[in-house]
């Protein structure tokens, strides 16, 4: 590898970029980036990013506001352009209590939770049978299309 590429990788890593980002920038695999950084004497950070990075308080307030307006954590994440798990973390930091669907009479698509249309899973959570069946049919159709495109 050209020395200037290795130097660039070291500089990018030192400024906080991830191995994945560097691999895209230099068109190398992540393994190659890791190998050359180690050979250059760089001490690699632990995986998973900086967990101690402070979250901007305005984002926490926005997430809590949207959640209080009735949006789900998934919808909050979608609206803010973040992952659902990140939205949940923001809501936890805002001390927002998690909502459950124990008292819901309908699923999010409007199907009623009747005995015939409700599936209760082993963990005690209930799901709409119509939505579950639709999701299963879509999954099977995707799997069939994938199998047809391969063979």
71-86 confidence digits (pLDDT tens): 888 889 889 988 888 8
Distance CA 120, CA 18 (A): 42
pLDDT of amino acid 135: 93
Query: Over the range 85-121, which residues count as b (16 or more CB within 10 Å of their CB) and which as e?
Result: ebbbbbbeebebeeeeeeeeeebeeeeebeeebeeee
Given a cut of 50, the residues of the chain with pLDDT beneath it are: none
pLDDT of amino acid 86: 85
pLDDT of amino acid 50: 61
pTM to 2 decimal places: 0.40
């Amino acid at each position: 590898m050209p020395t200037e590429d290795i130097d660039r990788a070291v500089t990018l890593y030192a400024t906080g970029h991830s191995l994945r980002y560097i691999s895209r920038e230099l068109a190398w695999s992540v393994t190659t980036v890791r190998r050359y950084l180690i050979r250059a004497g760089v001490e690699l950070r632990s995986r998973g990013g900086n967990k101690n990075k402070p979250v901007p308080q305005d984002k926490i307030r926005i997430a809590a506001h949207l959640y209080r307006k009735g949006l789900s954590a998934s919808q909050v994440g979608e609206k803010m352009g973040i992952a659902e798990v990140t939205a949940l973390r923001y809501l936890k930091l805002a001390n927002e209590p998690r909502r459950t669907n124990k008292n819901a009479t309908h699923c999010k698509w409007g199907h009623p939770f009747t005995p015939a249309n409700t599936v209760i899973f082993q963990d005690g959570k209930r799901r709409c049978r119509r939505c579950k069946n639709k999701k299963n049919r879509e999954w099977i159709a995707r799997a069939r299309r994938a199998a047809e495109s391969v063979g």
